[in-house]
Amino acid sequence: MCEHARMWIDTHCHLDAPEFDDDRGGVIARAHQQGVRALVVPAVWPAGFAATRQAAFMAGGAYALGTHPMWLDAAGDDAAEALARALVIAQEDVRCVAVGEIGLDFGVPNADRGRQVALLEAQLKLAREHGWPVLLHVRQSVDAVLAALRRIRVPGGVAHAFNGSAQQAQQLIDLGFKLGLGGAMTFERALHLRRLATHLPAEAIVLETDAPDIPPQWRYRTAAERQGGAQQRNEPAELPAIAQTLATLRGWSLAQTAVITTANARAALPRLAAFFSDD
């Protein structure tokens, strides 16, 4: 199997972000050229749901609907109600594969943890009602997210950009979740994350870019370099190179890595199977 014949799934890519407005078509073409045939585009707030759907459709990809905890204030008090209305419509759209990006972010200065938890729980209840998996944002909040998931059981999903402990990882796995690994894993100094990537159960790992964010080591620029105009935007086309880091850590071939992570993504997001194949 040649390099570009491999099937890669980017389980978390903000293709609708304004950073891609000038060349979204080129970004998609480069991803497809690298064998990244499936992109999952998560929304961050109701006002962006239409743009999220449009970006996913343009890429021939999938999308998720939800409100990100960092967009809580911008989304307003009716975010859960807006999601409820959108999910009724999305139920008939095969490209909508999850509820997300939802979760908790306790790393935000002066975070209103109570409001974040209330919104997460409301969105988890909607996911449970519709029988959909979720795409989780979990920053400095793994235990609180786990507590919410135990109160409100959903059909699994993906804990995006996971960087918690091995014990927390296992608790998420036990609740039916896969763990998303991406560009942060490529940094040699990310010792904890690289240990996780090495020792997690093979069936628990999915790949992501979080593009345009979390660039891999080779695209990273210092603050001074960015101020000087240096580009560090991440793209879904970087996924196979990110996967090479995982392959090296695990002692897998790149072909094995593609097969394993693609199967895991399909297991986490069953609706992907309706319109993606690895032929």
Which residues, other chains included, contact 170 with Cβ-Cβ below 8 Å and sequence gap of 6+? none
Q: Is 199 annotated as a binding residue?
A: no
41 with 52: CB under 8 angstroms?
Answer: yes
Tokens of 136: 């989780």
Q: Is 12 annotated as a binding residue?
A: yes
Distance CA 279, CA 265 (A): 16
Q: Which residues of 45-76 are buried (b: 16+ CB within 10 A; e: fewer)?
A: bbebbebbbebbebbebbbbbbbbbbbbeebe
Q: In the block, which residue shows the tokens 């918690």?
A: 164
Distance CA 197, CA 1 (A): 25
270 with 245: CB under 8 angstroms?
Answer: no
How long is the chain? 279
Q: Is 160 annotated as a binding residue?
A: yes
201 with 173: CB under 8 angstroms?
Answer: yes
Q: In the block, which residue shows the tokens 């999938």?
A: 62
Q: Is 130 annotated as a binding residue?
A: no
Binding site, residues?
12, 14, 101, 137, 160, 210
Binding site for a divalent metal cation, residues?
12, 14, 101, 137, 160, 210
